[in-house]
Amino acid sequence: MRIFLLAAVSAAAISGAAFAAEKPMYGAWGVDLTARDVAVKPGDDFNKYANGAWEKKTTIPADQASAGVGYDVYNRSQDQLRTLIETADASTPIGALYKSFTDEAKVEQVDDAPLKADLAKLAAVSSKAELAKALGAAHGGFGPDLFSLDIYPDAKNPELNTLYIGQSGLGLPDRDYYLTDGFKPQLAAYTAFAERALKMAGYADPAKSAADVIAFETAIAKVSWAVADRRDIDKVYNPVTMDELKAYAPEVPWADYLAAAGVTGRSQVVLGEKSAVRDIAKLFADTPLETLKAWQTVQGVLEMSPYLSKRFVDSRFDYIKVLSGQTQLRPRWKRGVQLVDGSLGELVGQAYVAKYFPPSSKAQMVDLIANLKTAMAERIQKAPWMAPATKQAALAKLSKMSVMVGYPDKWRDYSGLKLDVTDLYGNVRRSGAFEWAYTLGDLGKPVDHGKWGMTPQTVNAYNGGLENKIVFPAGILQAPYFDPAADPAVNYGAIGAVIGHEISHGFDDQGRKIDDTGKLRDWWTAEDAKRFEAQAAVLGGQYGTYEPVPGMKINPALTMGENIADLAGLQVAYDAYHAALKGKPAPVVGGMTGDQRFFLAFAQSWQDKSRDDSLKQQMASDPHSPSNFRVIGPTRNVDAWYAAFGVKPGDKFYLPPEKRSRIW
């Protein structure tokens, strides 16, 4: 899945035209040639060759963690959403929610009154049994939980939704922030925030209580699973009966806890990070009640601060900016658009696609995806390491992989959500409860494959592994990723590689464990798996040497699936591009061959400049490699790239043919 780190955004001007222009948005044929640094040899750093001049002249806006085409497209989409949201009448859900957020005078007048009501309920908790119910009620309610509750298809019975219980409880992005010296500034900033939050909540000794909270969260971090282990589907699928759960982690009154979350009548659940669930339950029992309540207070204040008065907003930002490197809070309208987008996503999405997503783009994307699926099928058929029976199973999975483009066929109904233009805090709380009830409505029911995990305006795409489907929202179908007026080589190199990436997730180190029905099942021979893992190890060995931030290298165990998909996506897109030429040579355009345009478009689709703190956060918790190595890493393993740019031995990133990864 392609992920853009959008912790902060900034505005960009957009044209008034809603649909496709007659000429490409970038350059004469779809690529910005002025972004290149032609003084850099492609084989020494293809990212700098493609994007170096842009990087030199670009300053990251103060309210963003990074800059680049991902942000550009996101910002463009946010401006488009702004035109829809700001003009919505206050009597509509969109208008009521947005206007409740932008009415700063009202928010300042209310100050922390609604927060005090929630904190008073927490203060009244007098036992661990009551607190367990408060933890369960936090889903769709106020405050944090020590456990995650998610409803997904059952990996062994993928036509039915079940409940997954996993680890949670941390206020920092990942366990490493508590346990490694490299994140000491971030831990210090969080500790300072905890003390401020407790002081605002009226604690008599906020410094001591904050220290207790940090010690408690550090204990959680020590028993939590590393993020690389959490992406292993075999490890995180641990079905247990309710009786087994009660025996395995007896410190939590599970029936009461789940009932408070709205979950009743379950005979079985699935544990994710199994040992962590057990050990966090022990911490719940061993930690003083007052420390647990202080922890809930800190995280409750952290969660609700964006919807309170300026003193809360500023206190939270003083912490958040140390994580991202931002120096300036985003303008209020941007935060308001994000709130509406996150709370009423498909309602906003209906208006968005009607105005900004032409039917012709959807039709063109459907054709592109079909071409990419054909190219992937040919790659599977030619894979020398895959046994014939496994190839047939892989081809069956590919043929059954459903494709969704632009927007869902059926829109969500938000009529049950009541919003008040004068009550921002209440609107956020009601929206959270509404969303949890919507999610909970799927529990124990057949999977609705028409539901989307992203809104249409999302600048992203995903592979729904347990449903064997790939989804491409309208938001990502914009230049430079997809431009109907661009040269075909550009669209294949940019959005084509994204399509190939998502298709290939069905066959990466985790996707290969899921069959054509979405069921967790080992359908490869032992020899297939051994040969696949050998080639994956070659790729992992390369990525383990990359150092995006001084002193911090990429973790190939964490990023393996995405690295494989990046490489496979590029290869499949290249094959599909050449198939589309139907045996004819690609024209030379602007002095560049078709292959050069293809690879250049791919590289510019990852154009990015990030702050070091943001990169550190990504590398600790995100399964995607930093953008510059999403350019360098795949291309140096593709033979055609060497021929296109004359890359030779002696160039920094040259790899001899025998050392290139040959997964697909």
* Concatenated DSSP letters of 555-592: -HHHHHHHHHHHHHHHHHHHHHHHHHTTTSPPPPBTTB
The pLDDT of residue 22 is 72
Report pLDDT digits (tens) over 210-244.
999 999 999 999 999 999 999 999 999 999 999 99
The answer to whether position 3 is within a domain reads no
Do 163 and 271 belong to one domain? yes
The pLDDT of residue 9 is 22
Residue 361's pLDDT band (boundaries 50, 70, 90)? very high
Last residue of a domain, one of 307, 342, 376: 307
CATH number at residue 227: 1.10.1380.10
Structure tokens, 157: 């019975």
Do 81 and 161 belong to one domain? no
Q: How far is CA 189 from CA 210, 213, 316, 622, 638, in A?
A: 12, 14, 10, 21, 44
**Cα angle 161-163-167, degrees, rounded to a multiple of 5:** 140
Report pLDDT digits (tens) over 504-541.
999 999 999 999 999 999 999 999 999 999 999 999 99
Do 388 and 457 belong to one domain? yes
Q: pTM of the prediction?
A: 0.94
**Total residues found in the chain within this entry:** 664
pLDDT over 50 (residue 8): no
* Alpha-carbon gap, residue 162 to 442, rounded angstroms: 8
Give yes or no for a contact between 459 and 79, defined as CB atoms under 8 angstroms apart. no
Report pLDDT digits (tens) over 91-137.
999 999 999 999 999 999 999 999 999 999 999 999 999 999 999 99
In one-letter notation, the amino acid at residue 145 is D
Give φ, ψ of 159 to 5 degrees. Answer: -90, 0
626: domain range? Answer: 357-408+452-659
**DSSP letter, residue 450:** T
Report CA 439 to chain centroid distance, whole Å: 19
**DSSP letter, residue 20:** -
Instruction: State the chain's maximal CA–CA distance in angstroms.
Output: 78
Give yes or no for a contact between 214 and 198, defined as CB atoms under 8 angstroms apart. no
The answer to whether position 221 is within a domain reads yes
* Alpha-carbon gap, residue 550 to 612, rounded angstroms: 9
Beta strand pairing call for 268-271 and 157-167:
parallel
* Alpha-carbon gap, residue 524 to 516, rounded angstroms: 12
Do 330 and 370 belong to one domain? no
pLDDT over 80 (residue 11): no
Q: How far is CA 22 from CA 64, 133, 483, 597, in A?
A: 32, 59, 10, 20
The answer to whether position 18 is within a domain reads no
Give yes or no for a contact between 348 and 458, defined as CB atoms under 8 angstroms apart. no
In one-letter notation, the amino acid at residue 429 is R
Report pLDDT digits (tens) over 416-464.
999 999 999 999 999 999 999 999 999 999 999 999 999 999 999 999 9
Do 326 and 295 belong to one domain? no
Return mean pLDDT, the chain: 95
Give φ, ψ of 266 to 5 degrees. Answer: -85, 130
Report pLDDT digits (tens) over 370-404.
999 999 999 999 999 999 999 999 999 999 999 99
Judge residue 290's burial from the number of C-beta atoms within 10 Å of its C-beta, 0-12 exposed, 13-18 middle, 19 or more buried. exposed
Do 547 and 460 belong to one domain? yes
Do 350 and 390 belong to one domain? no
Q: How many CA atoms lie within 13 A of 215 on its CB side?
A: 12
Do 178 and 286 belong to one domain? yes
pLDDT over 90 (residue 153): yes
Please, which residues have CB within 8 angstroms of residue 628's CB and are 6 or more apart in sequence? 47, 548, 606, 608
Give yes or no for a contact between 496 and 431, defined as CB atoms under 8 angstroms apart. no
Do 385 and 532 belong to one domain? yes
The pLDDT of residue 621 is 95
Report pLDDT digits (tens) over 592-625.
999 999 999 999 999 999 999 999 999 999 999 9
Torsion angle defined by CA atoms of residues 202, 207, 212 and 216, in that order, rounded to the nearest 10 degrees: 90
pLDDT over 80 (residue 10): no
Give yes or no for a contact between 185 and 193, defined as CB atoms under 8 angstroms apart. no
Q: At what angle do helices 627-635 and 556-580 cross, to 10 degrees?
A: 60
β partners of residue 509: none
The pLDDT of residue 21 is 55
Report pLDDT digits (tens) over 284-294.
999 999 999 99
* Alpha-carbon gap, residue 96 to 232, rounded angstroms: 42
Q: Look at the chain and report how many structural domains it folds into.
A: 3
Report pLDDT digits (tens) over 635-644.
999 999 999 9
Structure tokens, 106: 């009202």
- Please give the full DSSP string across 214-238, using - where no structure is assigned: HHHHHHHHHHSPPHHHHT-TTTT-E
The answer to whether position 300 is within a domain reads yes
Give yes or no for a contact between 356 and 474, defined as CB atoms under 8 angstroms apart. yes
Report pLDDT digits (tens) over 33-43.
999 999 999 99
The answer to whether position 22 is within a domain reads no
The answer to whether position 276 is within a domain reads yes
Give yes or no for a contact between 596 and 635, defined as CB atoms under 8 angstroms apart. no
Q: How far is CA 190 from CA 361, 481, 640, in A?
A: 45, 37, 48
The answer to whether position 225 is within a domain reads yes
pLDDT over 80 (residue 1): no
3-state secondary structure of 380: helix
Structure tokens, 130: 């009551």
Last residue of a domain, one of 269, 286, 307: 307
Give yes or no for a contact between 207 and 195, defined as CB atoms under 8 angstroms apart. yes
Q: At what angle do helices 184-200 and 289-304 cross, to 10 degrees?
A: 100
User: Quick one: which H or E segment has residue 66?
Assistant: strand 66-68
Do 257 and 348 belong to one domain? no
pLDDT over 50 (residue 17): no
Give yes or no for a contact between 470 and 463, defined as CB atoms under 8 angstroms apart. yes
Do 203 and 140 belong to one domain? yes
Do 234 and 248 belong to one domain? yes
In the chain, the percentage of residues whose pLDDT exceeds 70 is: 97
User: Quick one: which H or E segment has residue 128?
Assistant: helix 128-137
Last residue of a domain, one of 238, 273, 307: 307
Structure tokens, 155: 């990996």
Average pLDDT over residues 3-29: 47
What are the percentages of helix, strand and coil residues in the chain, rounded to 5? Answer: 55, 10, 35
Please, which residues have CB within 8 angstroms of residue 10's CB and are 6 or more apart in sequence? 61, 63, 64, 71, 75, 330, 334
Look at residues 512, 511, 481 and name the one whose alpha carbon lies nearest to residue 497. 481
Q: How many CB atoms lie within 10 A of CB 286?
A: 10
pLDDT over 60 (residue 13): no
* Alpha-carbon gap, residue 577 to 555, rounded angstroms: 32
Report pLDDT digits (tens) over 463-500.
999 999 999 999 999 999 999 999 999 999 999 999 99
3-state secondary structure of 153: strand
Residue 664's pLDDT band (boundaries 50, 70, 90)? confident
The answer to whether position 12 is within a domain reads no
